[in-house]
Structure 1
Amino acid sequence: MEYAAAYGPVVMNAVKAIVVLILGWFLAGLISGIVRRRVVSHPKIDDTIGNFAASLVRWLVLLVTIIAVLQLFGIEATSLVAVLGAATLAIGLALQGTLSDIAAGVMLIIFRPYKLGQFVDIGGTSGTVKDLNLFVTELVTPDNVQIIMPNGKAWGAVVTNFSAHETRRLDLTFGIDYGDDADKAIQLIIDTAKADSRVHSDPAPWVRVTNLGDSSVDLGVRLWCDASDYWELKFHMLKAVKKAFDENGINIPYPHIMSVPKSA
């Protein structure tokens, strides 16, 4: 009886704490999911803000859950605030990297140099943005490799966003033989480009002689297209122009090795 009287309340509080933790964890996931769906469903708000808001709400619910658990063991919220206030400096020094990531995450959401689904290069690391939360930015490379980058590093790095605009300019260079007709080759490239519906007519395809190389006359090509068509158009143009050159007698120079026999 004495054992039950002495330890009974502690055991009950421990059980309650476990129940509160489970419910808090469940509610954190439930509420964050609802917030994400509500924000994402709004036509004027992009998915990036939805993910970030859901992450913020989840951590707030978990914080409230932890405070509730501490109160079950007799630690009042006011006492907890006082303790946290006294330990602010120590926590700040110990978690300065984490706090920096949170601050950087907020800045990334405010200025939005990239959004979910966009292909970016962040400080030399390229990939499609899959997630942006309080602490990290998650990228997926074209070969399906996951990259986790702390927000602090992402915010402090040079960001190249290849998907920021709806259109992109495709730049290509084709070398032809010095003995070939440059005007004929230019017209072949223009005709090939105009035959592809992915090439925009405004600005019109641009082809000029851009360099006289050691073994070729280089023709620079500039084509405008939708950003989503960039890579497929590039691969198609390389193949199509090569075929057009072959059919019309335009030669593409390539390195040769000449053997000169030494006379007796």
Structure 2
Amino acid sequence: MEELVEQLDINQYLPVIIEGATNVLLAAVILIVGLFIANRVNKIICNIGERYQRLDDTLFRFLGSLGKYVVLAFVAIAVLNRFGVQTASIVALLGAAGLAVGLALQGTLSNLAAGVMLLIFRPYKVGDFIGAASQFGKVQEIDLFTTILQTFDNQQIIIPNSQIWGSQITNHSHHAVRGVDMHFGVAYKENTDQVRKVIDEVLANHPHILKDPAPFVEVETLNNSSVDFLVRPFCEGEHYFTILYSVPEQIKKALDENGIEIPFPHRKVIIEKEQ
């Protein structure tokens, strides 16, 4: 009699045991397959960034991690669903939590969005000299939230990406050849052809100034007390600042040697004496 009762108890719980074991087995399979797919998605996305040089690795590593965790989130929901957990409430809770976090981190998310755009469109890269957000320097690092610049006086400036993406960006390193604009004034009595000849000689003797394209030297403005020349030599981008800070002194010395006056602003005052 007791054996019959035990047999009946086993038969009663056997479907439950089989169902539980099946759910555990299926959950394990879903988890293993999900982990494989998540890692595969991450690897595929990262490989895309490595395959093309114009694509930024940082962005694709982030996108790969994002894709991986999105897959894992669906895997977790599927596993819980196998055990009879109502996942609709969990999804709603996660959505509400995500909204709250998003509202709390609006500034951070705007930097993230700007960082993604900068890494996709790449208006500048590491090593470029740029002017952005009222700052100027050499780009040391670009990440998803900030851009780090190194200034000429060796300061580190960390700029939120949202400030850069929302303002004008000047990339001084984009083109291999650059023009260097300089202005020089001479007295009205001086012969402009002679002045141009002196300036041309200085530019022709400079080792970093290119012959092609040829330097531009022309009268730009007739000021109150001077005739102003616009001087624009061309050079490789790496020599831009060398020329900008060396040529003015050389032109000044050359003008002095040739007796050409560089005037300073002055005003003529006439005093009439009463009779």
TM-score scaled by structure 1? 0.68
Specify the code of the residue in structure 1 equivalent to 2:259.
G
Q: Which residue of structure 2 aligns with residue 240 of structure 1?
A: 250
Between the aligned partners of 1:146 and 1:190, the Cα distance in structure 2 is: 39
Specify the code of the residue in structure 2 equivalent to 1:243.
K
Between the aligned partners of 2:184 and 2:209, the Cα distance in structure 1 is: 18
Structure 2 residue 227 is matched with structure 1 residue 217: yes
Shift of 1:239: 1.4
Q: Which residue of structure 2 aligns with residue 129 of structure 1?
A: 139
**Pairing partner for 1:165 from 147, 165, 175:** 175
Shift of 1:183: 0.7
Shift of 1:80: 7.3
8 A Cα contact 2:148 2:159, kept in partner: yes
Structure 2 residue 53 is matched with structure 1 residue 45: yes
Between the aligned partners of 2:220 and 2:146, the Cα distance in structure 1 is: 44
1:154 alignment partner, SS class: helix
Kindly report the root-mean-square deviation, in angstroms, between the aligned alpha carbons of the 2 structures. Answer: 3.7
Give deviations 1:221-244, integer Å, cap 9, x for gaps.
121111111111122211111111
Q: Which residue of structure 1 aligns with residue 239 of structure 2?
A: 229
Structure 1 residues without counterparts, runs of 5 or longer: 1-34, 68-75
Paired residues, what number?
216
2:56 alignment partner, SS class: helix
Q: Which residue of structure 1 aligns with residue 163 of structure 2?
A: 153
4+ runs of 1 displaced by more than 3 Å? 50-61, 78-83, 255-263
Write the mapping of 1:75-86 to structure 2, written as runs, cut at 5 A.
Answer: 83-86=93-96
Q: Per the alignment, do residues 117 and 56 of structure 1 end up closer, same or farther by CA in structure 2, a change over 3 Å counting?
A: farther
Shift of 1:109: 0.8
TM-score scaled by structure 2? 0.66
Give deviations 1:110-155, integer Å, cap 9, x for gaps.
1111111111111212222111112211122222222222222221
Q: Which residue of structure 1 aligns with residue 199 of structure 2?
A: 189
Which structure has the larger Rg? 2
Identity of aligned residues (%): 42
Write the mapping of 1:1-264 to structure 2, written as runs, cut at 5 A.
Answer: 39=50, 45=53, 49-53=56-60, 83-255=93-265
